[in-house]
Structure 1
Amino acid sequence: MTNTPATIDTLYSINTPEGIALKLAPAGPVLRFYAWFIDSLIRGTVMFAMLWALSFFDRAGTGVFLILAFLIEWFYPVYFEIFHQGKTPGKSMFGLYVAQENASPVTPVSSLIRNLLRFVDFMPFCYGFGLICLLSNSRFQRIGDIVAGTVVLHQDTEHRVSEETTIAPVVPPVPLQLNEQQALISFYQRRPMLSEERADELAKLSGPLVGDRAAAADYLSGIGRWIIGKR
Structure 2
Amino acid sequence: MAETDVEECGVGIRGVALAVDSVVWFAFLFVAVYAVGFVTGDVQVTGASADAELSGLAAQVAFLLWLVLSIEYHVLLEYRYGQTIGKYLVAIRVVAADGGDLSLRAATVRNALRLVDVLPVFYLVGIVSVVASDRKQRLGDRVADTVVVRP
After TM superposition, is the score higher than 0.5? yes
Structure 1 residue aligned with 2:102, among 103, 106, 110?
106
Q: Which moved more, 1:116-125 or 1:127-136?
A: 116-125
The percent identity for this pair of structures is 27
Q: What are structure 2's unaligned runs of at least 5 residues? A: 44-57
Q: What are structure 1's unaligned runs of at least 5 residues? A: 1-12, 15-21, 159-231
Q: Which structure is richer in relative contact order (CA contacts within 8 A, separation 6 or more)? A: 2
- Residue 13 of structure 2: aligned partner: 31
Aligned pairs for 1:110-129 (under 5 A) are 110-129=106-125
TM-score, structure 2 normalization:
0.78
Structure 1 residue aligned with 2:22, among 19, 24, 40?
40
The answer to whether residue 126 in structure 2 is matched with residue 144 in structure 1 is no
SS of equivalent to 1:153: strand
The change in CA–CA distance for 1:49 and 1:116 in structure 2 (over 3 A counts) is: closer
SS of equivalent to 1:98: strand
**2:72 counterpart letter in structure 1:** F
Number of residues paired by the alignment? 135
RMSD of Structure 2 on Structure 1 (CA): 2.2
Q: Which has the larger share of strand?
A: 2
Aligned pairs for 1:23-172 (under 5 A) are 23-58=5-40, 62=58, 65-84=62-81, 86-154=82-150, 158=151
SS of equivalent to 1:141: coil
Larger Rg: 1
TM-score, structure 1 normalization:
0.53
